[in-house]
Amino acid sequence: MNRGAVLAGVAGICWGTIPIAVKQTYAAGSATALEMSVFRFVIAGIILGGVTAARREPLLMRNKWSVLMGFCGVFWMSFVSFFGIQYTSAVNASILSNSNPLMVAALASGLGL
């Protein structure tokens, strides 16, 4: 089997279990949305930093504003998603989250972009 296909499948499984894991964390009273978001990005930063160091690749930070806006946008989306999951089911959260590209395309079309 193609390595890329396997990795894509693993990524899809991990991505799809996020709402379930967040609901379970809320049920256990273990963490808040902010704590889960910070934990998620600290772990991702450690993993990506390790991969970058192992490959001996330079960090590309040509435009610091783009890096800051990207981080804030991704972190904010994660936080808002985690916060919203406590008020709905994991299924509804998955549907809303995964329909985001469709909503962006519809808004862009409506705004003439």
* pTM across the whole model: 0.74
The Cα–Cα gap between 38 and 32 comes to 10
Average pLDDT for the chain: 87
Q: How many other C-beta atoms lie within 10 A of the C-beta of residue 25?
A: 19
pLDDT tens digits for range 51-106: 988 988 777 777 778 778 877 888 888 898 899 998 988 889 888 888 888 888 99
